[in-house]
Structure 1
């Protein structure tokens, strides 16, 4: 079959690549066109647009880049018409993908949505539109099944594909040597994959460097950036940037400072204590606080419905508060143990690996029905 996938950020690229791998096991003649990234490109097919040209986060940021967003939507619609896919598979990224879903539905193209938009967080009435324009929804968070059911929509829970990615990771016993690190305990910075996250969050992370001389630090480099993108923030600091090895960085770290997003759940599943941080445009955050109807922003706390990890958002995302949290994670044994115990409970809730395979198998069944 001819598949068209759209992923608009780094996490979508990861999940899209694993789904493509699973689909090929069921469909050896599969052809793929997609908006995505390097991981999806490694699975073959035709990369039509890289997510680095698409990932804008926040109301103000989207408005500021509206011309680019509209051009990308127009290109996607035309490309879908040209490629005539048997199915359109949309991966999260709702601001963009729901518009494409509506278009594809009018063209008679089956629409599958893998990784639900976070409609449970704000404007829940969007489910009514999703019911009309999405043929099948494949969810990866356990509480989403009951949420959609409350709106009269049946969805498939396939488990979480992060478990697949983590299961595929090979722990590297020589990680520190390979990356020029010494034997001191390590603290990892995960500043995110969007440019505005780098600009606002990384400088606050770096303020913690001089307060822990007995530790070494390393930054997880996002695939959408180069070393040069980080250097302007590192003029007065010597800290390695590690690309394409984030899981091993987290596994080798005593603690991590993680920008809110998929990485918070990955860090928890890798069993590394963390503090979750986020700082955005003040207007965007102000609007979000008025609209969003959730107690937490990190996926770890949302799945557990309790504060497992500390969240330092906006004005709380400061060098002082980040440092205080690092100190607790590395020096307060009771605090650290409590977080790790909750990680074990989280892992039980999330289930087992195999989400990509389950999603692919269900998709093939629906397409053949």
Structure 2
């Protein structure tokens, strides 16, 4: 069967690659065409556009880049018509993907949505639109099932695909030696988008002088050159590591993490963390009016209580980051967070989300084809 996937961010590329691998195990004739990234490309098929050209963060940033977004939408729609896939698989990235879903539905193409849109955060009535344009919806957070059910929509909970990636991870025993890391490590995860990095990395690096006994290591995105990161670094106890976030988390004692998927990854590696976020002033003001959730980090959302400290906007500063890190390196703060992480791991369950989703998609397509058969009773 022919599969068309759309992933617009680094996390979507990761989950898309794992899903492609699982689909290939179930469908030997599978062919892929997609918007994604390097990880998906490594699984084969045809990459039509890289996510680095698509990801814009925040209300203001989206408005400033509307021309590019509309151009990308038009190109994607045209390419889907050319490909004429058996199924369109959309991965997160709702601002873009829900428009693509609506178009595909109009064209009679089956639509599966993997990693459901976070409509529970704001404007919950969007569920009604999703019910109309999405054929199968796959959730990766336990509480989403009850949320969608409250709107009369049946969904499939498949577990979290991060567990798949972590299960495949193999520690590099030479990682410390290779980068000459002979002190306790504080990992800095500033995100993979330019806007995130430029807003958060300076704040993260502003605390290095307060920790002369630690080594700071930046998890750098492979899509940027080393020189780009070096412009922010003015300390000798800072090391850059490209494309090896899990290796870094495996050896880190604590971390400062940009709000997003990385907060959950850090927790699943049992690394005590402080979560930071800084957006455009207008974007954040709008978000505070619209968003109806108590937390921004996945860790706190899943646990439905504060586990990790979230430093947002003006609270994201050297003084508060330093205080939180000191609390996490030793003592009761560290012990409590590690105990909470153990509980979180229990809630998350086991690996296998990609395999479960692949089987559900293929069975759905087989059932659809069977129902269309003239011999079907």
Q: Tell me the TM-score normalised to structure 2 length.
A: 0.96
Residue equivalent to 2:25: 25
Secondary structure (helix, strand or coil) at the match of 1:111 reads: strand
Secondary structure (helix, strand or coil) at the match of 1:77 reads: helix
Secondary structure (helix, strand or coil) at the match of 1:240 reads: strand
The farther-off stretch of 240-249 and 156-165 is 240-249
Residue equivalent to 1:198: 197
Secondary structure (helix, strand or coil) at the match of 1:29 reads: coil
What is the aligned residue count? 367
In the TM superposition, 1:150-229 aligns within 5 A as 150-181=150-181, 183-229=182-228
Distance in structure 1 (CA, Å) of the matches to 2:92 and 2:61? 18
Q: Output the aligned Cα RMSD.
A: 0.9
Unaligned runs of at least 5 residues, structure 1? none
Distance in structure 2 (CA, Å) of the matches to 1:349 and 1:126? 27
Distance in structure 1 (CA, Å) of the matches to 2:3 and 2:283? 35
Residue equivalent to 1:359: 357
- Rate the CA distance shift 1:72–1:237 in 2: closer, same or farther, 3 A: farther
Q: Is residue 208–residue 235 contact of structure 2 (8 Å, CA) maintained in 1?
A: no
Secondary structure (helix, strand or coil) at the match of 2:289 reads: helix
Deviations 1:279-334 (CA, angstroms, capped at 9, x unpaired)? 01010000000000000000000000000000001110111111111100013x21
Residue equivalent to 2:309: 310
In the TM superposition, 1:6-17 aligns within 5 A as 6-17=6-17
Deviation at 1:229, TM superposition (A): 2.1
Deviations 1:6-38 (CA, angstroms, capped at 9, x unpaired)? 000000000000000000001111110100000
Secondary structure (helix, strand or coil) at the match of 1:265 reads: helix
- Rate the CA distance shift 1:205–1:281 in 2: closer, same or farther, 3 A: same
Residue equivalent to 2:366: 368
In the TM superposition, 1:40-55 aligns within 5 A as 40-55=40-55
Answering whether residue 342 of structure 2 is matched by residue 344 of structure 1, we say yes
Deviation at 1:251, TM superposition (A): 1.4
Q: Is residue 214–residue 237 contact of structure 2 (8 Å, CA) maintained in 1?
A: no
Distance in structure 2 (CA, Å) of the matches to 1:88 and 1:237? 48
Residue equivalent to 1:251: 250
Q: Is residue 216–residue 237 contact of structure 2 (8 Å, CA) maintained in 1?
A: no
Residue equivalent to 1:93: 93
Residue equivalent to 1:277: 276
Deviations 1:102-142 (CA, angstroms, capped at 9, x unpaired)? 00000000000000111000000000000000000000000
Residue equivalent to 2:374: none
Secondary structure (helix, strand or coil) at the match of 2:219 reads: strand
Deviation at 1:237, TM superposition (A): 5.1
Deviations 1:148-172 (CA, angstroms, capped at 9, x unpaired)? 0000000000000000000000012
Distance in structure 2 (CA, Å) of the matches to 1:154 and 1:115? 15
- Rate the CA distance shift 1:237–1:16 in 2: closer, same or farther, 3 A: same
Unaligned runs of at least 5 residues, structure 2? 368-377
Q: Tell me the TM-score normalised to structure 1 length.
A: 0.98
Distance in structure 1 (CA, Å) of the matches to 2:294 and 2:6? 29
Distance in structure 2 (CA, Å) of the matches to 1:166 and 1:105? 34
Residue equivalent to 2:119: 119
Q: Is residue 215–residue 237 contact of structure 2 (8 Å, CA) maintained in 1?
A: no
Secondary structure (helix, strand or coil) at the match of 1:85 reads: coil
Secondary structure (helix, strand or coil) at the match of 1:28 reads: coil
Residue equivalent to 1:60: 60
Deviation at 1:238, TM superposition (A): 5.5
Distance in structure 2 (CA, Å) of the matches to 1:358 and 1:197? 32
Secondary structure (helix, strand or coil) at the match of 1:49 reads: strand
Secondary structure (helix, strand or coil) at the match of 2:238 reads: coil
Deviations 1:232-262 (CA, angstroms, capped at 9, x unpaired)? 2124555221112111101101100000000
